[in-house]
Structure 1
Amino acid sequence: MRQIILDTETTGLEPSQGHRIIEFAGLEMVDRKLTGRHLHLYMHPEREIDADAERVHGISLAFLEGKPRFAEVASQISDFIGDAELIIHNAPFDVGFMDAEFARLGLPPTVRQCAGVIDTLAMARDQFPGKRNSLDALCDRFDVDRSNRTLHGALIDCELLAEVYLWMTRGQESLMMDIEPEAGAASSGLPADFVRKPLKVLRASEAEAAEHEAYLDALDKAVKGTCLWRKLAADKDVAA
């Protein structure tokens, strides 16, 4: 699966008030691994930047002099996000700005140009209700190093969000399971007299068991409690 970790910086908070995108960043991830491919652009907004916004991201209008307008880079952005799932922290904000920029050019909205949008802020609120779920707070929760982040910048925020997203979704990797076929399901094609030999059970070595426990310790730390694996093991011991 191709995904894009995406972030923008803007001249203000409301696209409905004519505020514009001044920085776009996207990191490509395929099958949960960053590929090294990215798109990072600065754009001249053709308007002033609110003082409060400039204090957050540190991008001045003077810095943007000579940079392309959104119309000049819109095709690059569309090509980059095309057919990818977008991962965005507080997605309505960034998607709202991108939709406003695309609309000015008569282009389709973001959701029609990509394969879907994941809002990591909504995910975090589901996983950690009642807690702070800003990107900074999530970095602290998952021990993601943000020492190089002094101001909000689209590219560094994407790098941090990629690590946070992988931590938040670590339990979603698929597991191989034996499932009994349903009645009427197609035959496996094995002979009727086929007898499966008993499977050889390989016990974990002490080193492997220690490595497994260390991994579970890391999961406990990530969820600030007891991970599901240990809860199931405890329930099994009680039932026994």
Structure 2
Amino acid sequence: MEAVAVLVFALLVISRMASPVSALSLNYYDQTCPKLESAVTEAVKKATMNDNTVPAALLRMHFHDCFIRSGGPTWDVPKGRKDGRISKASETRQLPPPTFNISQLKQSFSQRGLSLEDLVALSGGHTLGFAHCSSFQNRIHNFNATLDVDPTLNPSFGNSLRSVCPAHNKVKNAGATMDSSATTFDNVYYKLLLQGKSLFTSDQALLSTGKTMNLVSKFASSQEMFEKAFVKSMIKMSSISGGQEIRLDCKVVR
């Protein structure tokens, strides 16, 4: 959990609305708040010990903030990202949903200056966390006019998902972990994807072009290459602009 805690610290520090990376600084808070990094790291470590889903939730939060307005790897985090003044629930529709195909994903990412490699690397964040049945229901029930289950799903894996998520599921929190090591930041997500054991349509979509499939295979074969690409793409995504100010009280606009 040590490495995951450091990863989550990075997400916390850069999770507010962005300004360009060139305007950020690795020592932004050295004078104004020199204990920030240790305080945040300790708080996140404590939270993660109490709830091992915290890293996945914070990763989701970071992706949400950047994409709309603005054991794992460690990196030096450029700091000084700015708080935005607007937060609209309706804007969550701008996040690429789990039903997107590769063309829709490419368009969504390219509109924000993110490449195909960024798309595949950031999808590796699905190594952490849990998905509710509604996120992948389209693949295991009434897939199309002739098939009930997506044929790209591994048959036994598809059957296990159907047993957890029946057609008329009434269990509110029913679902499945994103991969078989859902509390460990690793490259298992890519290995399972190649075996037909991914949850989302948007996961399976990464195998639908030669370039994205090659990237999936590369990351599946080397956790080191995945982590290097993930860090690069996380920092790049953090540079998406949109904020206006840094607030002492997050609830109050200056």
Larger relative contact order (C-alpha < 8 A, sep ≥ 6)? 2
Higher strand proportion: 1
Q: Which structure has the bigger radius of gyration?
A: 1
TM-score for both structures, normalised by structure 1: 0.21
TM-score for both structures, normalised by structure 2: 0.20
